[in-house]
């Protein structure tokens, strides 16, 4: 039942984010592909996925598992279903982890949709995107999404939906600004330049310490979310 509740809570947001992913893919085909030169600006499109699709998806799909998200927009206070959930013989930890699992899986899938749709339809514009490029972008974007998802989940457990949503979108705006800063010729000096997978495809180099830090950040925030949910008075 908790799995179904988690799906019902975020299904509209999943459809909305999927639509955004498809829109970005088709917009990217006309913005980042030059049929005359048979060239594609794949790294720039990947940064668009990072700055826009992934940030929006994570903020929308992260939830506490206790206080359900509203279907439309952001709402102050507690969702009416929360009191029914707390009356059930289900641990708060389980409710949080199931909700996080559902949101996280759909986040990864939506990022994959944005990347694979671009690669699938790129031949219609006279260019091809290598499968290695697509898979590496999805893999590295998903690693960063995990860290961001843990942080946003922590916000939903500690703050009101309105406040956590505003802070989440503010952080997404920060990512957008950081992404513009990564677009210069000295991207190899940027510590997070590997996030879009371009560095791996170009050099074959994986920055394992940075990946370990991102995974640790996501895990620490998820553990902190469990701690908050289990001790919070609703």
The neighbour count for residue 77, using CB atoms within 10 Å, is: 11
Secondary structure (3-state) at 90: coil
pTM for this predicted structure = 0.84
DSSP E strands in 13-168: the ranges are 33-34, 39-40
H/E run at residue 141 = helix 131-158
Cα–Cα distances in Å, from 50 out to 38, 124, 126, 159, 214?
Answer: 24, 24, 25, 25, 15
* CA-based nearest residue to 44, from 147, 148, 187, 204: 187
Q: What residue spans define the domains of the chain?
A: 2-231
Residue with tokens 């699938």: 120
Distance CA 81, CA 234 (A): 12
Per-residue pLDDT of the chain (234 residues; tens, 9 = 90+): 778 888 888 888 899 999 999 999 999 999 988 887 778 888 888 888 877 888 889 988 988 777 666 555 555 555 556 666 666 678 888 888 998 999 999 999 999 999 999 999 999 888 998 898 899 889 988 998 998 899 999 988 888 777 777 787 777 667 656 655 555 444 544 555 667 666 666 667 777 888 898 899 999 999 999 999 888 776
Residue 169: in which H helix or E strand, if any?
helix 161-181
Give the pairing of strands 39-40 and 33-34.
antiparallel
Neighbour count for residue 215 (Cβ, 10 Å): 14
Q: State whether residue 40 is helix, strand or coil.
A: strand
CA angle 207, 208, 214 (to 5 degrees): 100
Q: What is the pLDDT of residue 103?
A: 92
| Coil vs helix vs strand at 69 | coil
Judged by DSSP in three states, 35 sits in coil
**Cα separation, 65 vs 69, whole angstroms:** 9
pLDDT for the residue numbered 210: 80
């Amino acid at each position: 039942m908790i799995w179904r509740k988690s799906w019902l809570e975020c299904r509209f947001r999943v459809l909305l984010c999927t639509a955004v992913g498809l829109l970005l893919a088709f917009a990217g085909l006309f913005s980042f592909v030059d049929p005359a030169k048979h060239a594609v600006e794949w790294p720039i499109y990947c940064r668009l996925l990072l700055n826009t699709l992934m940030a929006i998806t994570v903020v929308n799909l992260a939830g506490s598992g206790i206080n359900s998200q509203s279907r439309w927009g952001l709402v102050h206070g507690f969702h009416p279903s929360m009191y029914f959930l707390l009356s059930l013989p289900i641990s708060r930890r389980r409710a949080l982890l199931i909700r996080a699992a559902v949101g996280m899986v759909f986040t990864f899938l939506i990022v994959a949709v944005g990347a694979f749709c671009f690669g699938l339809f790129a031949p219609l514009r006279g260019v091809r995107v290598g499968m290695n490029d697509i898979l590496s972008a999805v893999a590295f974007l998903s690693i960063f999404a995990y860290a961001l998802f843990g942080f946003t989940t922590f916000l939903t457990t500690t703050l009101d939906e309105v406040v956590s949503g505003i802070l989440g979108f503010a952080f997404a705006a920060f990512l957008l600004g950081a992404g513009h800063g990564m677009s210069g010729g000295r991207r190899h000096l940027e510590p997070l330049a590997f996030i879009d997978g371009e560095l791996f495809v170009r050099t074959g180099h994986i920055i394992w310490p940075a990946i370990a830090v991102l995974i640790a950040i996501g895990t620490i925030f998820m553990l902190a979310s469990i701690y908050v949910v289990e001790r919070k008075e609703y």
